[in-house]
Chain A
Amino acid sequence: MDPIQQAMLKKSHAAKLERRGKLISLFCISLIVVVVLAIFFFVASRGLATFFTNKVNLWRFLSQTTWSPAVKDASGQPQVGALPMIVGSFGVTLLSAVIATPFAVGAAIFMTEIAPNLGKKVLQPVIELLVGIPSVVYGFIGLSVVVPFIRNIFGGTGFGILAGTFVLFVMILPTVTSMTVDALKAVPRHYREASLALGGTRWQTISRVVLRAAMPGILTGIVFGMARAFGEALAVQMVIGNAALLPTNLISPASTLTSVLTSGIGNTVMGSLENNALWSLALLLLLMSLAFNLLIRWIGKKGEIK
C-alpha cells in the first residue's frame, strides 16, 4: 500500500480536531439548555412547595387580596393572596404598553416612511441609547423626578402604578420601536408604490397598506415590550411604593410580583412558608414569561399564514 492509501485509512489529525471541536461546541450549547431546564426545575420545586408542602389552595393564592404570609387568618389559613401583586404587574404592564405603542409606532413610521435620513441620524442613536440606560438609572430618575411630579399634581405620596407606568413606558419604548421599524422595513416596496400609484396620500398608504401588512411584526414588538415590562424589577420597585394592597387607584402605593420578590426574598428564612410563597410568585413570573413567549410564536405563525 502506498503512503497516501495508508493515510486515508487512518484517522487524520483534522478528523480528530473536528471531533474535538464538535464536542466542545456541543458542550457549550448543552450547558445553555441545562441551565434553562435547571431554572425551571429549581424555581418550580420551590414555588410549588407552597401548594404541596404548606397546603395552600391555589385558587386562594390567585384570588385572595391579603398578603401577609406570616399571619394566619381567622380560619387558621395562611394569608397568601397574591392578587394585589398580580393586578399591580398586569396594571403597569398594560398601561405602559398602551402609552408606549402609539409613540413607538409613530416613531417607527417616522424613521421608515417620513424622514428616513433624520431617523437614521437622530432617532436611531436615541433609541439605541435609551436601550442602553441601566434600569436602576430609570428607577432613580423615576424616584427623583416622576414621583415628586405626580405628588405635586395629584397629591398623595406620588408612589404607585402611575409612576411605575411612566418609568416602564420609557423603558419599553425602544424595544417596541426597533421591532416595529424592522416590521415596517420588511413590507415590500411595491405595496407602497401600488397604493401611491392609485392616488393614495402618504398617510393613506401608511395607515391602510403598510401598517396592515406589518401588523404581526408590530404586535410581536408590543408583546416583547410587555414581557420586558412584566419582568422589570428594580426600576418598578423603586417607584411603586411597595404596599401589597389591591390597588384602588393609580396613585396610591402598590406592588408587583417583581417588587415584592426583590424586597422580600432576602428577609425570609429558606423553606419557611413566607419564603415558599415568594418563590411561588417567582414561578408565576416564570410562567408569564413563558406565556409571552408562546404568544409571540403564535402571532408569528398567524402572520406567516397570511
Chain B
Amino acid sequence: MNKWLEFFGIKKETDERVQQQSTKVFFEAGIFVLFLALLDIVIRGVVLERPIAEWGFSFFIIGAYLVYGIIRMAFAGVYDQDIYDETSFKKKMRKHTLEHLLTSLFLSIITTVHDGMPHDLMGWMEIPVKFCCVFLAMQLLEWVLSRISLRKIKKELR
C-alpha cells in the first residue's frame, strides 16, 4: 500500500503528528466522497427516478468503500475488538450464530411475502433453501473476517 501511496506522490511522514493529521484528512476526504455518492443516489435514483445507468456508479463507490473498509479492518486486526484469543472467538461466533439465524429467518419471510405465497411443493422447498443459503453466507463471511482479524492480533502479540 505504501508503494502505491508513494507512486501517487503521497509520502509517509516521519513526524507522527503530521502522519496522524494527514490520515485524518484523507479519512475525511473519503467520507466526503461517500456523502456525495449517497447524495447522487438519493437525488438521481430516488427523487428523480433516473435510470440506474446514471447513478449506478455512485452505488458502486459506496459498495466498494464499505467492502474495502471491512476487509481492511479485518487485516488490521480491528474487525471485532472483543476477539483476542480462541475462547473469545468461539464465544463471539456463538453470539453471531443466533443473530444470523434470526436475520436469515426474517429475510426469508420478507422475500416470501414479497414474492407471494408459494403454490407448489418446489415453491415451499425454496424457503428453507433460501434460509440456509443466507445463514451460511453470513456465517462464513463472519468466520473468515473474524479469523483474519484474530490472526493479525495473535501475530502482533507474539
| A in complex with B | no
